[in-house]
Amino acid sequence: MKLALRGLLVVVVFTVAVTQAGAAARARLVTRIVSAVFWTPQEGVLAVRYCVPGSDHCVRGAVERTTDGGRTYRVVLRTKGPVTDVEKVGSRGAIATPLGGQAWRTLDGGRTWRPFTFEPWFWAAPRIALRFDRYYMRNKPLLALRVTHDGGRTWRSHANPCNQTVAFNVYADPVTPKLWWIVCVGQPAGGTMDKAVFHTQDGGKTWRAGAANLASLRRGAHGGIGLFGYPVGLAFARNGFGLVIEGGGKVYVTRDGGVHFHAAPKVERPDIDFGRSAAAFSNGVGYVLLTAGFPARLVATHDSGRTWHVVRRWRG
């Protein structure tokens, strides 16, 4: 009986030790910020990864929700693999995409999540999305714009203004089912990239040109957008307040629907920060998520991009 009790004691001690070791291993993981979405000036979600300190090895992921403009977050979804992105879907939705795993979608502001088949589209609403398909004409790369109103089952082709300027790639922000902004970009060349901004108010039937810098096409520049820097995303509000973010950290601000831009002062550290996500609202509130390697910070404006402040920092 004494031997059996001693064996039981050893098993209990061993189990406690393993549990403590596992907890310690989990505690050593650090949180890395990936991207952010805001539906309102107060509500949004953040995609994160849990990683081994000092390395690129990440083992799990999560989505965190904020209701106070990014000051605090709480976990609302945990994923088995690291999360690679979170993208906005209409006024209350988002899609989170883990690395090599099942994507998840919310349509109620991040409260509940369900498995979802992810496609790299730009969503204006849960059933309305844009996609850009590459094709070639006489060795010239072009982009076909297609729109779905039934969640991707059927598509209709629309004229793509990028094909009249540069069509190496395109980023879109469908603010509503009818009101969209896009930035068309050319091939990267030594830190420079041609770019042209357009918007439509009738779901792609007609387009209006905004700022552009098309130096390689010898069309010059207008509207304040620089030639240096690679755009990685944009965000607009219905009243024309908008942001274009770049891989080098630069943030461009417009308050007239993309006709004129200026570089936001004292927001980014050139060649250090990387623009990850942006959001813009008609009341002048805007957010930009910037990363510098592993550390990250969320910056905000409350006066349509005239002044900025740091909302939160993450060490990574």
Instruction: For residue 270, give the 3-state DSSP assignment.
Output: coil
E strands along 126-250, which residues?
Answer: 128-137, 140-148, 156-158, 169-174, 180-185, 195-200, 208-214, 220-222, 231-236, 242-246
pLDDT confidence of residue 27:
56
Q: What is the pLDDT along the chain (316 residues), one digit of tens a residue?
A: 444 433 433 333 333 333 333 443 455 889 999 999 999 999 999 999 999 988 889 999 999 999 999 999 999 999 999 999 999 999 999 999 988 778 999 999 999 999 999 888 999 999 999 999 999 888 888 999 999 999 999 999 999 999 999 999 999 999 999 999 999 999 998 889 999 999 999 999 999 999 999 988 888 899 999 998 899 999 999 999 999 999 887 999 999 999 999 999 888 887 788 999 999 999 999 999 999 988 999 999 999 999 999 999 998 7
Q: Is 207 domain-assigned? A: no
Q: Is 101 domain-assigned? A: yes
| Residue 35 structural domain | 29-118
d(CA 244, CA 251): 6
Q: Is 135 domain-assigned? A: no
Instruction: For residue 27, give the 3-state DSSP assignment.
Output: helix
Q: How many CA atoms lie within 13 A of 192 on its CB side?
A: 10
Distances in Å between the alpha carbon of 80 and those of 62, 73, 110, 139, 154?
9, 20, 18, 42, 32
Q: Is 146 domain-assigned? A: no
User: In DSSP terms, which residues pair with 31 in a beta bridge?
Assistant: 50
Asked if 61 contacts 42 with a C-beta cutoff of 8 angstroms, the reply is no
Query: What one-character DSSP code corresponds to residue 167?
Result: -
Name the domain count of the chain.
Answer: 1
Backbone dihedral angles phi then psi of residue 251, each to the nearest 5 degrees? -120, 120
Distances in Å between the alpha carbon of 157 and those of 128, 132, 150, 196, 231?
14, 10, 14, 21, 25
Q: Is 108 domain-assigned? A: yes
Q: Is 95 domain-assigned? A: yes
Q: Is 104 domain-assigned? A: yes
Q: Is 74 domain-assigned? A: yes
